[in-house]
């Protein structure tokens, strides 16, 4: 099992080619993969104006507004109901998609999975929460406020936590990634408001 703490301050912003915003990658698999060869990718995007989304053939997307008023997406010519803050919205990345901001600039949490290789679930939690890390899957916890506490129960100690199990506090948009839990499973516990993303290989039911 591997645990990585991913600090927001370490991310490099990448401007969009259309000038509509910037993206900061949180993590991807395989590590270092680009837009054309990831199995899955999670990022934060600062969206500053209306405009089209880039087409991503063979990719499924889940977007969550984590800062700002929200937006309206038009997908293949169909205007969808407003995407409200902290309400994950799934859509195919290869659809023709346009975005209209409803209240100024915003920040989106973007989860992208390569169709046929990976699938994802996104949930928003607040307060005390426990996320199970099943075998062969990854769980990513992204803090949505400052001061989100986390601890990994890896099952190796009498109380479920070994002496050196990772624990700590996350600032806003920091993240912790747990990958490759053993057959006994592990639990990622948190306190505060966060997004919990569970990523699974296709064929391994979520």
Percentage of the chain modeled with pLDDT above 90: 73
Q: Which of 68, 89, 115 is the last residue of a domain?
A: 115
Residue 2 tokens read as 């591997």
* Structural domain count, the chain: 2
CA separation for the pair 23, 73 (Å, rounded) = 18
Q: Quick one: pLDDT at residue 34?
A: 87
Q: What CATH number did the domain enclosing 80 receive?
A: 2.60.120.10
**E strand residue ranges, 30-147:** 40-47, 51-52, 59-67, 71-75, 78-79, 89-92, 97-101, 106-114, 118-125, 128-133, 138-143
Domain with 146, as residue range(s), is 119-201
Residues 43 and 81 in one domain: yes
Q: Are residues 64 and 78 in the same domain?
A: yes
The residue with tokens 């129960």 is 153
- One domain for residues 14 and 97: yes
My answer on whether omega of the bond before 30 falls inside 30° of 0, hence cis, is yes
pLDDT greater than 50 at residue 22: yes
To the question of pTM greater than 0.85 for the whole model, the response is yes
Residue 127: pLDDT over 80: yes
Q: Are residues 190 and 146 in the same domain?
A: yes
Q: Is residue 14 part of a domain?
A: yes
Confidence at residue 60, expressed as pLDDT on a 0 to 100 scale? 97
CA distance 113 to 10: 23
Distance from C-alpha of 25 to C-alpha of 199, rounded to nearest angstrom: 16
* CA 193 to the chain's CA centroid: 14
Q: Clarify whether residues 165 and 107 are in a common domain.
A: no
d(CA 180, CA 149): 22
pLDDT at 184 over 70: no
Which of these three, 91, 115, 139, is where a domain ends?
A: 115
**Final residue before a domain boundary, out of 60, 80, 115:** 115
Which of 34-48, 143-157, 162-176 is modeled with the greatest confidence? 34-48
Quote the pLDDT of residue 92.
97
Are residues 42 and 137 located together in one domain of the fold? no
């Amino acid at each position: 099992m591997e645990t990585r703490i991913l600090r927001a301050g370490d991310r490099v912003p990448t401007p969009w080619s259309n000038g509509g915003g910037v993206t900061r990658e949180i993590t991807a698999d395989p590590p270092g993969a680009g837009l054309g060869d990831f199995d899955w990718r999670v990022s934060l995007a600062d969206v500053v104006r209306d405009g089209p989304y880039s087409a991503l053939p063979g990719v499924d997307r889940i977007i969550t507004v984590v800062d700002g008023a929200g937006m309206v997406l038009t997908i293949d010519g169909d205007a969808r109901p407003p995407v409200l803050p902290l309400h994950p919205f799934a859509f195919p990345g290869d659809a023709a998609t346009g975005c209209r901001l409803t209240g100024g600039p915003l920040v989106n949490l973007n989860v992208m999975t390569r169709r046929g290789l990976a699938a994802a679930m996104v949930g928003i939690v607040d307060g005390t929460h426990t996320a199970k890390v099943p075998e062969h899957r990854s769980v990513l916890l992204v803090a949505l406020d400052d001061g989100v506490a986390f601890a990994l129960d890896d099952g190796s100690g009498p109380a479920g936590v070994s002496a050196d199990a990772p624990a700590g506090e996350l600032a806003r948009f920091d993240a912790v990634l747990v990958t490759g839990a053993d057959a006994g499973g592990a639990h990622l516990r948190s306190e505060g408001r966060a997004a919990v993303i569970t990523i699974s290989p296709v064929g391994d039911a979520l």
